[in-house]
Chain A
């Protein structure tokens, strides 16, 4: 049986030289993302701004959204949003946070129930008060920062500090782009999005660490090889693994996206963009080349002898 070779053996792409394109590209994308975040803003779900979310299923076929909208907005509960959710009979209703405290929220739910009557099945009701949403937001922010710091410390112990810094720059870049993407697409930003951000952080670091591991190994073995060449060989020799792993993760995510139902849609969308699209690009095109600027391997005696270049071009891992 002939086995699949997605990345041909002995691929040699000059990733390091490509930084002249990838760095400006990332800078532009990051600026765009920051603009999207501040200009458009995240579409915060009730977890973070409070309010009520009701998912209903119309018992008698497709739901009449327009009619529901008119009757619900007549309740005077603020701007009630309706949205078809999955099947045509399923509707997601968002009632904003009510002034007048927690009891007012519960009364709002009761009013909505009164209007919708008995023709619908209540599939999900979530009511989050102002205090809880504030707490969730601050815990989530603290959590993200803690995770970043924790990983930074781990990498710092395990590698040199330059690697830790490089990985962090690369992955904060991932998070910035993902947040920009979520703002631009107005995907619901709720607790599961925080889960997605943390997982993206873990996954793209995972990728970066694999490449860094190889760079470290190469640094120990080829003490005289020019740095850009060493980085290039490291990225190229782990390229097949990067591609194959991303394909398998993509297969898993696509399956969740298509078959997992609307309940985990926002989570999977964020994951697919952040971990698969951006994450793989970052570890190859940003995390590795950035080490050139952070002074990794400073003090090495790089050779200018062309013979060494030839030697390095024929590297085999058989020492």
Chain B
């Protein structure tokens, strides 16, 4: 039972050091702000404990495909026109654009020019040899251009990146505390907002593409005629909001000014009607075009279109030359507020769909903490009492080891800035049950050795040595399960895997070192002839 002084000291110091990292958890966020960086690390409560929303969004990849194909068709048209090459039958089929060149003699020029549309992917440094578009001479003067899969993936990746920035701006405008916005996989964005009272509003703000356009209303036919199918090719049939009874409008496809030309948008009130409105300012480019359009069309209505919905279609009474204006659409104060946020943050490159939502109210979170902590205490006390009843003084040592063990788990969680979830608390409670097991293994082995007629020191010594191999073997199997769970799991389940895994490591550590040091200290202090076990 000899344990070198240095080893004992290192053991105790390591344990103490890890335990010290628990300290910041007892202080308020504002207090520890002034501490050194390394001391600020603390356990973060999971959304299931502090309440909040976990929202997983996915970029609409079909939209990206369609948009990309349309863009390709426009490019083909532009390139052929610039090269003065005659063509017929420009059609889009899925990701493929087909075009027939009129004259055989133009075919080579056309192919050269069309190949220029295709861009190498991956930038200069990581050139992979892949290109964004495949250009194929399909024979009979037909040229096929197909967007490659890497080309689509690249575009989706860009969309997600832009979306993250825009979502970030939108969420920050809501005034939430510490939102987390991360990319997940290729086409997903995970938004986690702690302590949110009203996820409905968050979802509404996230779910809007917020594509704003100002366009003229087509006065050549009435909306009724258009609904019967006589829609002019350069116009769209659009509807107003549900609350106004979805009135129909015929709107020109051509955009006068779009949301990209806005420099600011603020909620406000109309001075005459005191109705909530959104005021906006254009940049110089937008202001010029808006001025020109309003000058030419006095007396005609124009439409403000947001995500294919006509918010309002006021009649131009006089030219608007100042580059600013207001949108009114019988909004509530909050709607005006949200619209201003959306316009300031900008439009998403492609619509985002909510594919998973998990929201926990603050009340349930608080309940879960209380219940979890109570269960942890009662379970631990029951185990502790049982251990003392079974092993006496050694039971006390085991309990001390388990106590240090739990504090160390919290310490490691703090060092990792990890998230503690309700299943995570369950993981700690189970670790208490399991940590005791390592002591049980040791003590039972010691009991056997004592029964075998060994001296006190002999029994303790071989008890420890023989049990430790078993402890290692038996814990590694559970650790493998925890590791797998950590990698496949998400959210709360991951929290469970984390505490379980850390618990196994600290359990092995305490069994190999701390328990041993304590038993050794007890032995050299009392020097008993027999082991009271």
Contacts and interface: CB of A to CB of B under 8 A. Distances in A.
A198 B359 contact: no
Contacts of B481: 147, 151, 198-199, 201-202, 205
Interface majority SS on B: helix, strand, loop or mixed?
A: helix
Which size class do B's interface residues fall under?
A: 35 or more
Given A103-B353, A249-B433, A123 B364 contact: yes
Interface majority SS on A: helix, strand, loop or mixed?
A: helix
B448 A317 contact: yes
Contacts of A191: 489-490, 492-493
Nearest to B362: A123
Q: Which 5 A-B pairs have the closest CB atoms?
A: A255-B379, A202-B478, A202-B481, A143-B488, A252-B433
A275 B29 CA distance: 39
Nearest to B203: A106
A123 B363 contact: yes
A199 B533 CA distance: 31
Interface of B: 48, 56, 58, 199-200, 203, 207, 353-361, 363-364, 367-368, 371-372, 374-376, 378-380, 382-383, 386-387, 389-392, 422-423, 426, 429-430, 432-434, 436-437, 440-441, 444, 447-449, 451-454, 466, 469-470, 473-485, 487-490, 492-493, 496-497, 500, 532-533
28 contacts: A3-B389, A3-B391, A3-B392, A3-B533, A102-B353, A102-B355, A123-B364, A124-B360, A125-B199, A126-B358, A127-B358, A150-B480, A150-B483, A194-B493, A195-B489, A198-B484, A199-B481, A206-B437, A245-B437, A248-B386, A253-B379, A259-B378, A260-B426, A261-B371, A268-B426, A316-B453, A317-B452, A318-B452
Most chain A beta-carbon contacts within 10 A, residue among B364, B481, B488, B493: B481
A125 B359 contact: yes
Contact of B374 (A123, A249, A259, A264): A259
A210 B444 CA distance: 12
Contact of B363 (A121, A142, A258): A121
Given A55-B364, A210-B474, A251-B386, 16 more contacts: A4-B390, A102-B354, A128-B356, A143-B484, A143-B488, A143-B489, A158-B473, A195-B496, A213-B470, A241-B441, A241-B444, A245-B437, A249-B433, A255-B375, A317-B452, A318-B454
A118 interface: no
Nearest to B475: A206
B366 to A, nearest CB: 10
Interface string A233-270: 00001101100110111111111101111011001100
A210 B441 contact: yes
B375 A260 contact: yes
Nearest to B360: A124
A248 B436 contact: yes
Most chain B beta-carbon contacts within 10 A, residue among A55, A106, A195, A271: A195
A92 B357 CA distance: 16
Given A3-B391, A202-B481, A209-B470, A252 B432 contact: yes
A154 interface: yes
A31 interface: no
A153 to B, nearest CB: 9
Most chain B beta-carbon contacts within 10 A, residue among A158, A250, A255, A268: A255
A248 B356 contact: no
Nearest to A171: B477
A123 B390 CA distance: 43
A313 to B, nearest CB: 15
A132 interface: yes
B376 to A, nearest CB: 8
B383 A248 contact: yes
B478 A3 contact: no
Contacts of B363: 57, 121, 123
Given A103-B353, A209-B474, A252-B379, A9 B451 contact: yes
A249 B372 contact: no
A158 B451 CA distance: 29
Given A247-B386, A255-B375, A127 B354 contact: yes
Contacts of B386: 247-248, 251
A217 B24 CA distance: 46
A249 B359 contact: no
A259 B436 contact: no
Contact of B470 (A123, A143, A210, A247): A210
A140 interface: yes
A2 to B, nearest CB: 9
Contacts of B493: 191-192, 194-195
B241 to A, nearest CB: 16
A199 B500 contact: yes
Contacts of A214: 470
Contacts of A146: 484, 488
A139 interface: yes
Given A128-B356, A259-B375, A205 B440 contact: no
A316 B392 contact: no
Contacts of A154: 476-477, 480
A16 interface: no
B368 to A, nearest CB: 6
A57 to B, nearest CB: 7
A57 B362 CA distance: 12
Contact of B430 (A4, A106, A252): A252
